[in-house]
Amino acid sequence: MTPSLLAHRGPETPAFTGRLGEIYAKMARVVPAMEWPFFAPDVAAITELKRQRNAIVLAHNYQTPEIYHGVADIVGDSLALARAAAKTKAEAILLAGVHFMAETAKLLNPGKTVLIPDPKAGCSLAASITGADVRLLRERYPGVPVVTYVNTSAEVKAESDICCTSGNAVAVVESLGAPKVIFLPDEYLALNVAKQTAVEIVAWKGHCEVHERFTAADIRGFRESHPDVIVLAHPECPPEVIAEADFTGSTAGMSDYVATRRPKRVVLVTECSMSDNLAAEHPEVDFVRPCNLCPHMKRITLAKIRRSLETMRHEVTIEPAVAARARQAVERMLAVGRR
Ligand code: 13P
Ligand code: SF4
């Protein structure tokens, strides 16, 4: 170990005392003490910058523990982050997540500054479809309403009747009262929804590059090596994976399952950081950890969040005519939850 690393260690150093010590305690089970002195200065600076800028940090469940437990004001799935963005009184919103999440926050807060620490934080689902594709689908299926997963660009949302997330997809589809809907762009989520409703679903061939890699054989392998394991899967996984799981739900659904059911041993068939974040909170639960990283989520780091709040970049902007139509689709979705 280098002398500088040694000098940073030990519970008596500033990183481990006072407010920083309390913050570290939240993630101590998953972030080694040796690493914390490297994160602590950024966490302290971000805390102060949030106060100066009257800014709030919304972090997705796939963010790393030093972000999720260290600087986030609100954590959650896409739906919870959209709801929090709609409600906040803060003047600026920093989205620790991917670009479509920041765009959704901007749609709901056109007058506020919305920041994304790395504008290249994309999503394979959002990249799988354009507004022109949606217009062609409407020509092919005249009169059939379009339900669009929030994992899309504002341009695609603007061509849609209503948005949904993995947490409310069935309720949104059924809210339309239509016998048939076009459901975009995640084919696997669409198949998963189709199993739970009588509404006929027309799907697109978009896939999440993280969840499409899981296989049914993976799940059987987890059960062979850990016979008592409870398998929770995200609905973006292929249907044969969902068929092998004990429970399917959004990232918030999985988190609630662990918090309320407290399984002895669990495997979350989703992005890696989710298990780290929950393991920090639930020492009594043993997490089996397959690791599929989302390269887009991992573009967001503490250093980039700090820089973003220092420079107030990168600000999310949406062309006003697109924003007005996309906002309607997101607001219709939020209204479904309030019915
Ligand atoms: P959730 O809405 O379930 O958090 O999912 C978002 C996402 O990007 C999953 O890959
Ligand atoms: Fe997109 Fe998949 Fe990454 Fe979620 S995990 S942001 S769906 S690529």
Which amino acids bring their CB within 6 angstroms of ligand 1? 61, 77-79, 151, 165-167, 208, 234, 236, 250-251
Atom of ligand 2 nearest to the CA of 100: 6
What is the pLDDT, as a whole number, of residue 13?
Answer: 81
Per-residue 3-state assignment (H helix, E strand, C coil) for the chain: CCHHHHHHCCCCCHHHCHHHHHHHHHHCCCCCCCCHHHHHHHHHHHHHHHHHHCEEEEEECCCCHHHHCCCCCEEECHHHHHHHHHHCCCCEEEEECCHHHHHHHHHHCCCCEEECCCCCCCCCCHHHCCHHHHHHHHHHCCCCCEEEECCCCHHHHHCCCEEECCCCHHHHHHHCCCCEEEEECEHHHHHHHHCCCCCEEEECCECCCCHHHCCHHHHHHHHHHCCCCEEEECCCCCHHHHHHCCEECCHHHHHHHHHHHCCCEEEEECEHHHHHHHHHHCCCCEEECCCECCCCHHHCCHHHHHHHHHHCCCECCCCHHHHHHHHHHHHHHHHHHHC
What is the pLDDT, as a whole number, of residue 10?
Answer: 56
Please indicate whether residue 208, judged by its CB atom, sits closer than 6 Å to ligand 2: yes
Atom of ligand 2 nearest to the CA of 270: 5
Distance 125 CA to ligand 2 centre (A): 7
Distance 117 CA to ligand 2 centre (A): 17
Q: pTM (2 decimals)? A: 0.95
Which mutation among 68, 77, 330 tests ligand 1's pocket best, with the greatest number of atoms within 8 A of CB?
Answer: 77
Per-residue pLDDT of the chain (339 residues; tens, 9 = 90+): 333 444 445 556 889 999 999 999 999 999 999 999 999 999 999 999 999 999 999 999 999 999 999 999 999 999 899 999 999 999 999 999 999 999 999 999 999 999 999 999 999 999 999 999 999 999 999 999 999 999 999 999 999 999 999 999 999 999 999 999 999 999 999 999 999 999 999 999 999 999 999 999 999 999 999 999 999 999 999 999 999 999 999 999 999 999 999 999 999 999 999 999 999 999 999 999 988 999 999 999 999 999 999 999 999 999 999 999 999 999 999 999 755
